[in-house]
Structure 1
Amino acid sequence: MIALDRQWLKAHPLPPLDPDTDKNERGRVFIVGGSAFVPGALRLTGEAALRAGAGKLQFGTVSEAALLLGMSVPEAGVVGLASNKDGEIAASAADQVIEHASSCNALVLGPGMRGSDECSALVSRVVEALPATVAIILDAGAIAAAASCRDLLRARSGALILTPHHGEMAALSGLDVEQISEDCEAAARQVAKDLNAVVALKAATTVITSPAGECLQFDGGTPALATGGSGDVLAGIVGGLAARGAGPLVATAWSVWAHGKAGEDLARELGGPGLLSRDLLPRLPKLLNSA
């Protein structure tokens, strides 16, 4: 296992930006998720994608939250999606998601969503239909749904990235949380190979693995990052960097590092826990532009 540090980052830089680039060339990202219960989750993910350098942002969320989300992130376009009786995105919204995501460089699917049969149907339909040119990042509820569409994920030729915590990894791997904690590397390698995906297994020490067997370990970060919305921010950074053209392993590694370092810096200033996930966002550009 290789340490994820500044030395690794310098050896694996982010794609440079041409001085004459425009917002479309900087990458388009579509972020789908949220629910009636957590209508603001996508704000964190979307701003993180823009702070990571993506040029254009669109949201897809339940119709009842779409207007407020659009007003809170004026830089983004918003698509209202059908919801079910539980206030979650309905499976019938899959065609809308596919239509909008197909013209983007990256799709982040899952923040603010809960895993369910309907979520599984949505994820399956989207994964099957999206062209390989669109990088797919699965987070939160979409990760739980991924366990039911392994064959579709495995067959996908485009970039696929998953960002599970230990509970979500248990659903993906068939292992229990204790087994995963005992050997995070083995669990992450297993799922990365099985699903042909880059996997970032989130914990105090985050392990990142690729289908080819590459394995990175990030020991930074802080317990202060164990707070609501932290994972939504991480997923957005990954989506933003993938939209800019970074490969799946590079996009994931840089995101984990910047997210962890931003948390470390804030915790140091605060003297411990108490940071809000939104506090991470203004810190991201300097970290991503200076490593």
Structure 2
Amino acid sequence: MPSRSEVQVITPGLLRDWELPVPAGGKESRGTVLVVGGSRFTPGAVLLAGVAALRAGAGVLQLTAAESTAATLSVQVPEALVIGLPETPAGAAAADGDGQLGELIGHADVVALGPGLKGIDETRRLLRLVLDAAGPRTPLVLDAYALGALSHEPDLLVGSGRPVVLTPNVTEAGHLLGRDPGDDLDAEAAELAARYEAVVSLYGHVAAPDGRRWREESGDAGLGTSGSGDVLAGLLAGLLSRGAEPAQAACWGAFAHAVSGQRLIPRYGRIGFLARELLDEIPRTLATV
């Protein structure tokens, strides 16, 4: 057996030995995912994350977005309940004042915070609301501006025992580390996991706070496209909602994200596909492991 400090390559064989839960029964057995995000100018990030959660197996989807975009988003994602959030003059989504968002957070099985958010002060308030309103064992996925908010309060998760997955890009990893990341992303992911007591998925490098580490090696340049990170955040939320534990969801998610991109290369080339085109590939990729 590999030691906890050894990096394991994520292969179909590894994943087959770490089989995803397959819930029986209706949609409630597959969990409710709440995606909290969406500024006036970036509601599409919430759409990508939400549809990815459904494609990964979530049973019920709830989305938030700046109130000026909520109606349009509800038409674009008819499968979801869409809640409009108050907006700042700059168009950032903010926590609501009547407690509706807190109620949704409290009843969700998984909360993904960050896709499409703008405004660090508003995001810090939303992060605080999520941590206060979510159950202590409710899995969280923190992405994009939520990671910036966490970097301002790095002890928020420490000692909480919460099941959390962080999905930074290299820039966001730098904010969380307080320095520019080095070339060894396996080591950087492990440092982040230990520091924040959360599972970290950093460009296919996955680390758990207990020292376990994995690496996905089939990702290609095409994944570096606008909206790709939103897809990954939603994919992880969907896997968590069907019962995967955080490290398992991160490994399966990294593989499904990368291989879905590989499946698009024959049609669009290595760097020609769009993030939204990953969505239809996700269930096929998961099913063929």
1:30 matched to 2:34: yes
CA distances 1:193-238 after superposition (whole Å, capped 9, x unpaired) = 1111000012xxx210001011001111211111111111111100
Q: 1:194 to 1:95 in 2, by over 3 A?
A: farther
Question: How far did residue 257 of structure 1 move?
Answer: 0.4
Structure 1, unaligned stretches of length 5 or more? none
Q: Which runs of 4+ in 1 moved over 3 A?
A: 91-96
1:235 matched to 2:233: yes
Distance 1:233 1:74 in 2: 18
Among 129, 144, 161, the residue aligned to 1:140: 144
Q: Does structure 2 conserve the Cα–Cα contact (< 8 Å) formed by 1:51 and 1:285?
A: yes
Q: Which residue of 2 aligns with 1:257?
A: 255
Structure 2, unaligned stretches of length 5 or more? 1-6
CA distances 1:29-75 after superposition (whole Å, capped 9, x unpaired) = 00010111112211111110000011000001111111001010100
1:67 matched to 2:67: no
Among 87, 92, 104, the residue aligned to 2:91: 87
Question: How far did residue 6 of structure 1 move?
Answer: 0.8
Among 7, 16, 23, the residue aligned to 1:17: 23
Q: Which residue of 1 aligns with 2:120?
A: 116
Q: 1:217 to 1:94 in 2, by over 3 A?
A: farther
Q: Does structure 2 conserve the Cα–Cα contact (< 8 Å) formed by 1:200 and 1:209?
A: yes
Question: How far did residue 278 of structure 1 move?
Answer: 0.8
Distance 2:27 2:280 in 1: 20
Q: Which residue of 2 aligns with 1:187?
A: 188
Distance 1:125 1:77 in 2: 20
Q: Does structure 2 conserve the Cα–Cα contact (< 8 Å) formed by 1:115 and 1:144?
A: no
Q: What amino acid maps onto 1:216 in structure 2?
A: W
Give the 3-state SS of the residue equivalent to 2:165 in structure 1: strand
Q: What amino acid maps onto 1:161 in structure 2?
A: V
Give the 3-state SS of the residue equivalent to 2:30 in structure 1: coil
Q: Does structure 2 conserve the Cα–Cα contact (< 8 Å) formed by 1:54 and 1:244?
A: yes
Give the 3-state SS of the residue equivalent to 1:150 in structure 2: coil
Distance 2:243 2:53 in 1: 13
Q: Does structure 2 conserve the Cα–Cα contact (< 8 Å) formed by 1:135 and 1:158?
A: yes
Question: How far did residue 93 of structure 1 move?
Answer: 5.6
Among 11, 14, 31, the residue aligned to 1:5: 11
Q: What amino acid maps onto 1:194 in structure 2?
A: R
Identity of aligned residues (%): 38
1:217-236 pair list within 5 angstroms: 217-236=215-234
CA RMSD of aligned residues (A): 1.5
Instruction: Tell me the matched-pair count.
Output: 283
Among 24, 29, 41, the residue aligned to 2:45: 41
Question: How far did residue 248 of structure 1 move?
Answer: 0.3
Question: How far did residue 11 of structure 1 move?
Answer: 1.4
Q: Does structure 2 conserve the Cα–Cα contact (< 8 Å) formed by 1:105 and 1:133?
A: no
When normalised by structure 1's length, the TM-score is: 0.93
Q: Which residue of 1 aligns with 2:4?
A: none
Q: 1:115 to 1:83 in 2, by over 3 A?
A: closer
When normalised by structure 2's length, the TM-score is: 0.94
Q: What amino acid maps onto 2:12 in structure 1?
A: R
Question: How far did residue 149 of structure 1 move?
Answer: 2.3
Distance 1:43 1:92 in 2: 20
